């Protein structure tokens, strides 16, 4: 099992434990996109914290730590272009 499969399983396990519904996920080298439907009494920030804890407990890998999170609170789909713009915006400037 590769790390992407493991990560997908960890996310699903965390979601089930918290009564979340993972409606979409895409895992690639540098970007993990997950659409989670949260109950009304839970916040996006709380979901981010819970996912960080759940994944860190299982992964024990510093490379899986995210430097940024893009959270939307709507039913709309996030496009690959929108994700790329966010990643480019958040990527630290390279000093030459």
Determine the average pLDDT of the residues in 17-27.
87
**In the predicted model, is pLDDT for residue 30 greater than 90?**
no
* 15, 25 Cβ separation under 8 angstroms: no
Summarised one tens digit per residue, pLDDT across range 60-91 is 765 566 667 777 766 777 788 888 888 787 77
Residue 33 makes CB contacts below 8 A (sequence gap 6+) with 24, 25, 26, 27, 78, 83
pTM of the model: 0.71
**In the predicted model, is pLDDT for residue 57 greater than 60?**
yes
**In the predicted model, is pLDDT for residue 29 greater than 60?**
yes
**Higher model confidence: residue 94 or residue 90?**
90
């Amino acid at each position: 099992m590769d790390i992407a499969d493991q990560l997908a399983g960890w996310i699903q396990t965390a979601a089930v434990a918290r009564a979340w519904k993972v409606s979409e996920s895409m895992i690639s080298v540098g970007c993990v996109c997950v659409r989670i439907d949260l109950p009304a009494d839970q916040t996006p920030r709380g979901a981010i914290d819970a996912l960080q804890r759940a994944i860190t407990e299982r992964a024990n890998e510093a490379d899986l730590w995210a430097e940024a999170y893009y959270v939307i609170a709507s039913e709309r789909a996030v496009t690959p272009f929108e994700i790329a713009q966010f990643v480019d915006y958040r990527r630290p400037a390279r000093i030459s």
